[in-house]
Amino acid sequence: MKEIFEAIKKSAIRIRYAIENDDTGYSQNQNTTGDVQLKLDIKSDLIIEEELSQIASVKELASEEKEHIEKIHEDGKYLIGYDPLDGSSLVDVNLSVGSIFGIYEDDYSGKNLKASVYVVYGPRVELVIGYDGEVQLYRLDSNDKFNFIQVINLNQKGKLNSPGGTQNCWHPHHKKLIEDIFLDGYRLRYSGGMVPDLHQILLKGGGLFSYPATSDNEKGKLRMTFEVFPFAQIFELAGGEAIDGERRLLDLTPLHIHDTTPCFFGSNEEIKKVKSAYVN
């Protein structure tokens, strides 16, 4: 596992360099959901593939940017699902973006997720690892070394609300939930990049990030394997919770690698509110 974390650190340094120096324009290609890929999406994907495929324990790689799973080492132990550059459409307006990794064994189900990592490319580069019972924050220094900063723990209740999805497509019970949370004094924090939005909630002690089922997309937008399960694990290890409205996210199994799910990540008090709004 340690070798995988080191390979992710190497890719993060190379991706940070590409973000700072490369063309932020579009390529001619589309990904599996029909989005036109940015040149940076393709480059980040390539960097991660190059670094992770050198690790003998990596059996397969599943990228958000590719339709099919890639076999790497037949005798490997780990299956890695990753989103190479989440929120990449924010690079051209110079907002923070991120990479997300889920390290699985046997299959890409929530219960077989063994470790999760994300990287935030912001004013500083930070890397968060959820593994072995805790969540650790590292920061990149000017010598390209990631230094341990702290263990992340959520409070019982936070102050931030990050509500995703187009509001005119929210279901009435969801609209009421979000309104009630604001009436309770929570402040709006939503950049359109789940990595910096969830990172902010984790580091500021708590709150709620939601990407619900909507009238135009009953299964939500965010993908289980690459985005949702890794953050669900990190929120649980930090003392929070992650549910799809009713069920624990890590109890879900995607039928297809690119399947999406509604998702709510938060500290305990906010998830209690979600459950009472969603469970009849």
Element containing residue 62 per DSSP (H, E): strand 58-63
Q: Which is nearer to ligand AFP, 222 or 257 (CB)?
A: 222
Give the per-residue contact string, 221-260, with ligand AFP (x = CB under 6 A; - = no): xx--------------------------------------
Please give the size of the binding site for ligand AFP, defined by CB under 6 A. 11
- Which of 84, 102, 110, 164 binds ligand AFP (CB under 6 A)? It is 164
- Is the CB of 87 or the CB of 130 nearer to ligand AFP? 87
Residue 16 CB contacts under 8 Å (≥ 6 apart), including other chains: 121, 125, 140
Q: In the stretch 188-227, what mask flags binding to ligand AFP with x, by CB under 6 A? A: ----xxx--------------------------xx-----
Residues 6+ apart with CB under 8 A from 153: 135, 238, 239
* Per-residue x/- track, 83-102, ligand AFP (CB under 6 A): ---xxxx-------------
On whether the CB atoms of residues 126 and 141 are closer than 8 A, the answer is: no
End-to-end CA distance of the chain: 41
Spatial distance between the Cα atoms of 88 and 85, rounded to a whole number of angstroms = 6
- The residue ranges that bind ligand AFP (CB under 6 A) are 86-89, 164-165, 192-194, 221-222
